[in-house]
Each structure stands twice: as C-alpha cells, then as structure tokens.
Structure 1
Amino acid sequence: MNDEMMNDTPLKVGDEKAIGNEGLKKKLLKEGEGWETPDDGDEVQVHYTGTLLDGTKGDSSRDRGTPFKFTLGEGQVIKGWDQGIKTMKKGENALFTIPTELAYGETGSYPTVPPNATLLYDVQLLSWVSAKDICKDGGIVKKIVNKGEQWENPKDLDEVLVNYEVRLEDGTLVAKSDGVEFTVQDGLFCPALSKAVKTLKKGEKVVLTVKPQYGFGEKGKQAVGDEAAVPPNATLQITLELVSWKAVTDVTKDGKVMKKIFIEGEGYERPSEGVLVQVKLIGKMQDGTIFTKKGFDETEVFEFKTDEEQVIDGLDRAVMTMKKGEAAVLTIAPEYAFGATESKQDLAVVPPSSTVIYKVELVSFVKDKKSWDMNMQEKIEAAGKNKEEGNSLFKAGKYLKAFKRYEKAAKYIEYDTIFSDEEKKQSKALMVSCNLNKAACKLKLKDYKQAEKLCTMVLELESNNVKALYRRAQAYIPVAHLDLAELDLKKALEIDPDNRDVKLEYKSLKEKMKDYNKKDAKFYGNMFAKLSALDSKHTTTPREAEPTIINSKA
C-alpha cells in the first residue's frame, strides 16, 4: 500500500501533502480516474516538465511531444519518481517537490541539475501496463494489455477457451491459435500457459515474458506441423487472451461426480435439503444412448425434492450446487448413479456399473424462507417441521441426513433473545430435543467425541436431563472413559431410578469394568512375574556381594 493511500483523506485539487517521511511532497493539479494506482514492476507512460526551485526549466517530454515510458520500482528513474508516481491515478496531474536525497544528490546531473538541488516535476500519468511476476521467481512476467471482466479466475479443473500467439525474442513467430480449448490442469503448448491462465479474468489479454524453465528449457522444441522450432534456453513472448471458460466442480470431492457449467445461473442462492426443484434433464450412457429425457421438447419439467432419495445420489448432490437458470453437464460414476445393478429407465435400460452423463438445467426451486424474514412463531414452527423430518430419516437409518435436518432445525432458534417467555420455553425444549437427536445420530455414526459435546451442551441447559447423561455415557464407553460413563449413569439413576435403558447400560458397563479389571490384573501380574524372574537371574550371593577385605597385617 503506498504512502498516500495510508493517509486519512484523499487530496483535492490545490492540496499539497507529504509522501513518506523523506521530504517528498505532492500537490494535486488535476484529479485522475477511478481508484487504481500503478505498482512496482508496472510499465508507466507519463508526460512531465522538470524545473529548479528558481523556475529554471530542465527536461520536458511535453517539449519533445513524446511521452516517457519506464518501469516502476526498478531504479530506472530517480527515487522521488518511483515513490510519487505510485500514488497517482490514470489521467492525474500533480506537482512533485523532490528533495536532493531523492533526486540527483551531491553530484547533480550535468548540465541541467546542479549539486544538492531540490527539483519540481509537473507530471501527468497517462497510462500504465501492469506487470506481475506470476511465479515469484521472474520466470513468467505478465503485462496486461486489456483488462478482463468480473473477478473470478479459472481453476485447475476448468475448461478454458483461449487465443494465443508465441514468438521468440527476435520476433520470430513460433505458434498461433485462435479459439483453442483445454483443461487448465492438463495445460497447453508449454507450462507457462496453464500457470498464467489461472491469473486471468474473462476477456483479459496479456503479454507474457516466459523464461526457459516455463517454456521448453535446455532442450528446446522441434518444429511440428505449423509450429516452428524453439531453440534451447529460449525466452518466449506469448500473447494470451482468455475468451471464456466452463467451470468444472468436483461435487463429491472424490472425482466421481463432476459438474461442468455451460450456462451461468442467476444470483447466489442454491437449493437446500428438502426443497422442491424443477429441472430439465437428459440422461445418457457413455455410448450416447439416451435413457431419460424430461423438460426438453416442450415436455413437462421434472420435479423432485432434494435429499430425499427421489433421484440418484449424484444428480441430487449436483443440483444442490446449482443456481436458478444454471445449465451443466454432470458425469456421474456408478457409485453415485445406479450402482452394480441393472436399472430400467424411461427410454432404455442402464447396464450394471454404468457411468452416466446428464445435461441438467435448474428451472426453479422453492426457496426456504430465511429466518430473518420469519416472526418468532414461524421460526419455532420451521424448527419443529425440520425436527420431524429428521425423526423420519433417523427411523429409516439415514443418520447423516437426519443429523442435517436436526442441525437446520436448531439454527432457526439459536438466537432467542427477543422471544417472549413462552416462545423461549418452546425454543429451549426444541433446542434440547434437536441436540439430543444430533447426539443419537453421532453415536450411530461412531463420532463419539461430537456426541459427547452435544450431550454436554444439553446438560448446560438442563443439568438433570437423563437422556443427555445416558447418551454421553454411551459416547464415553467406546473410547474407554469408563469412570466418566459410570458417573453419568449413576447420576441418571439417581434422577430416574426406574429407567430401564439406563439400568441395562449400567449393568453392561459393570461387566465391561470387570473385564477391564481382570485384564489389567493379568497384565500387571505377568509384568511383575517377569520382573521378579529378571531380578532373581541377576541377584548375587551374600558372599559374592561382600567387598574384599585387605588384612593390614599380612
């Protein structure tokens, strides 16, 4: 961040302000455009007029009629310029007062600048080309010719469409291509293209200076087809334009459900679990055989509820990552499709272990009403509805899905500061119930640490909650915290002596503790026996242990 940007208020025309703490001053003569300023490494183009404090005119690009170009931060100009021009916006005109320490110092610059001279420079920043060291080692330097749109950059999995032209330093054309598509992580032509394209925005055009390590190295490249040869250790000049790209997402994070977007959706909202979605879709096998088609050719759109197993898992998960109006191609492996069994669909039979491909467009979905748009009673009702859905999923053995429903229910009522007393009572009961049910899910999923935490949260609200004590004990037992489990079960029985489930768990715990005690006794018994045998093996006789006595009379 430059020094002027660190000041509290921007300059107004006619204002003067210190830049840094070495005596450099800047007076604004004309405001610039936008908010961006150049940085070290950028190639700037300026008009300037230099004078001494007494008004003696020195060098002037304006008199020559040719703007002056240089690279910021590389010592090509006096320090005062490097520091001052970094504070300017495009089109800005400023007068810099540059002390001798930041100008030509004790020696001056013969014949126009005497020794120890303070200088005045009237400078206008016409434009600049940003230069970025992409790999931070000088191997690929990028200069922006045309700025791109929006703010996103392509990722490794994305498919990009680019135009590029490659030349040697002497201008010899090596290769040129308009409208070539490739996957970023797979690369194209030379390593520099995949690295550089990840820094571009849609429509951005750049010139890359590519050192041999990111080009073709010590070996160079032989001529192939229309492409000329690249000599060993050659530096390349590559003009690269990112025309567009298709975002590709690994939906399941294991490479088995891949989504490639070809039409961007609207806004930022996506369907959540349990909402009704409307889609158009075409399902194909890898050989192109269509097995289902809905919503296209004026047929009715297909409706289903997300996260309720009404469609294959891969399609279900992918649709929940889509925005309204988004269209994508999904490639779904058998594990997330129809599995190892044959599946009869609308238009064809899908063979066992088939990878399937869907073209999907999300037409619409029923948005969940946001909690901040609900009144207190609506929040409580929404929490209750999601809790009941969670109960149904739990009974069906779908513990992870049930957990998500309970979690969603709890979020509606987690902030109850403005609830009435009655509403607070209702929300507390729901929160306790949801956390207990979440703990039950975690026990089924063998996530004992989280189950313990959830039960502890309940006990912070209700210290005598028997279910929380019981389930926390169940979480302690598999990780061998038997003493803690016993404490919880004892307390639960003090509160509810006739609770059958707790009594059975306590009886089972006692048996486990006996087994542990027997194993411990056996272990330590064996250990002590071994130590005793070892001691007897190395014990000396009393006579051997006596020190030698020297008879002084002998």
Structure 2
Amino acid sequence: MLKLKNSIMNKLIAFGLLIVLASCSLLKSDGLKKNHEYVSESGLKYTIYEQNPKALKVDSGDVIYVHYVGSLEDSTIFDSSYDRNQPLKFQVGVGKVIKGWDEGLTYLHKGDSALFVIPANIAYGERAVGKIPANSTLRFVVKVVDIKKPIKPWNVEGKKRIYLDDSLSYVIVEKGEGEAAKTGDRVQMQYSGYFTDWKKFDSSYDNGEKPFEVILGRHRVIIGWDKGIVGMKVGEKRRLYIPYPLAYGEKGRMPIPPKSDLIFDVELVNLESINYPKFDLEGKDTVLMDNGVKYIVGKKTDGKKVKPHDVVSIAYVGKFLDGGVFDASYDRKDSLTFEVAAGKVIKGLDYGMLEMRVGEQVRFIIPYKLAYGESGREPVIPAKSDLIFDVDLLSKKDVKVTL
C-alpha cells in the first residue's frame, strides 16, 4: 500500500513538473493570447490587442518609442502622445516612468499594442499629478513604435593603449576624419560611462539623448574629458581610462562612489572651432584707473555713457594673462545682461563699465583683488589671478532711481 501511495505521489509530482515546464515554455515563447486580460502579481491588468511575436521584444534597459492614450476609470482622457504627433521616448526599467509601465511594456514587442489597467500603487499612488487625482487607477492604450537596445562596451582587443600625463590613457577604437579637437573647441559627443567592473552608470546612447555638447577646457566636464577628447577627429571613437583624481575625485558624486576610476566610450559627433572677435588694440593707449583697473579702448564711439544702475548687455571674452580663455558669452551664443554698480559682476568689471559708451569695444585688465581675490574660484579661476575681459557694449537701459 505504501509503495502504491509513493508511486501515485511520484506520478503527481512528475505531472506537476510537466505543468510548470509547460507554463515556463508558454511564457518563454510569449504565448499570450490576443484580447485576453491577464493579471500580474503586482496587480497590473494587461490585454494585448496587436501582437508581433517574431519582432524585437522590449527588455529592461531598452530605449523605446511609445504612442499612448491615458485615461481615468471614467474614461476621462488626461494625456495623449497623439495630440503632440510624437511618441514618448524613454529608457525602460530605470524609473523614468511609473512602475506599471516599466512592467507592462516588457510583455510587448515592436509593433504591439495593448491596454494597461494600472492600480494606484504602481501608478502615482497617493499623489495627485496634474489631471490625475490621488489614488487613481489608470488606463493606458499603448503602442510600441520602436525599440533600441542598450549599447555594450566597445571591443578594443588588439588595439594599442596610449598613455598621457596624470595616468590618463586611451584607445582609438575607430579613426575619424578632419581637424583634431583642441582646447576651446565646441564638441558634440555620444558616450557611455562604466565602472572598472563594466557596470554602466550613464549613457547618452541608452537615454536616447541628443549628443552632449561642451566646450573643451572650460571645466564644464571632468578633467579626464577635457584632456582625453583633445586630438579626436569627427567620427572617431575612443575609449578613455580615467583615474579618479581626473574624474570625481576622493568624494565622488552620485551615482559615482568616492575614488572611482572610470571608463568612457566616447564618439566625436561634431566639432566647431569658436572664433572670438579681435579688438584693434595696436598702438592704443593703456589707461590706469585710480582703483587699479587698466583699460584699452579698441573701438571708440559717441554712444551714451554708462551710469550707475544702468542695465547693460555685453558680449565678452574672459582670459588669463597668458591668453587662455576661461569664459565667453560667445560660447553660449548669448549676451550677458546686468545692472551696473549693483554687485552683479566682479568689482573690476563694474568699475570698468562706467568708462564705456554704447557700441564701444574695450579691453579691461583687472587685478585679482578686484576679481576673484586671494582664493580664486576653483577649478576655473586659480588663486590670485589677474584677469582680462574684452567687452563689447551692445546696449544699455537707463534705470530711474527713486529717492
């Protein structure tokens, strides 16, 4: 009798395993029925309307393009990508959208459409967001328009590693063409950043972002980038090995832990040399003001003279005494507007503006005590730095001062 029971039990266990295996097989083959409502463990309800099981499937980490219509349970529509004639683009599984979307979209393929009924706990919860009341169950009809798989580390096997100063090194993965990037150039980059264990912490490719734009040598990026991108040509792909002192240093910066050596795969997409206006200063007198500021008028006009509290707009280039540029309004393709003698800029520039007329071009040489002082402003301005400003006064507005 005991043997019979054991035999029956073994058969039941075997039968159960077959059911489990069959279920796993069904899931792996994406054997979901059209127009059938499924409910996941999280409470997400999903019904697939259009199905393309042979197409690329959505996975966590993919960048996808999705059209959608969002509505409340009473069918009130609160948002629609169709109204904007543009699908929503985002990376799946990294918290860019509500949890119900991050889960539900992984059941779909490119070209699939579905209905998601998302309970509040995996939507916006107790928060009211725009037209969505707190604790709302949401309905989304979604269509996956396109899928882009996350980029992987480039293959550099057999390629030479080149070492620069400060332990910075790089590998040229693919050669580019044209002029080489230099300090002061505006560059556009695509990139992926990795820790030394190859865990990815950021990627412009994966995020579906436009190329990252920066002017080299302006301390707008880590030192390893400012140095490592110099010499690249458009179309070039380069792997940078950046020691932590040239990255985010001893303290780090979220999500970068302290003392983290980093690896970047970077591609130079575009390169633009920035040409600043050259002031005609040859043979012109240098005037020393009582406060220590020196100035040279390159272009003189009969325009209105600046008074205290006037609001002026200027184009400028800021330089060190060796000619190295640290800032320029031309970099941003914009002008700087501020109130004169109101503490909005360094003292030396405030003093200098009072010597200018609209339309004039003047070079100011400002002693460090009237600039950024004894301490400077690291990492851009070193301590005790005398500075040069080439200033073009574009316009001014008289401001009435009420007594």
Give the TM-score band, short-chain normalised: 0.3 to 0.5
Q: More relative contact order in 1 or in 2 (CA 8 Å, sep 6+)?
A: 2
Say which one has the larger Rg: 1
**TM-score, scaled relative to structure 2:** 0.37
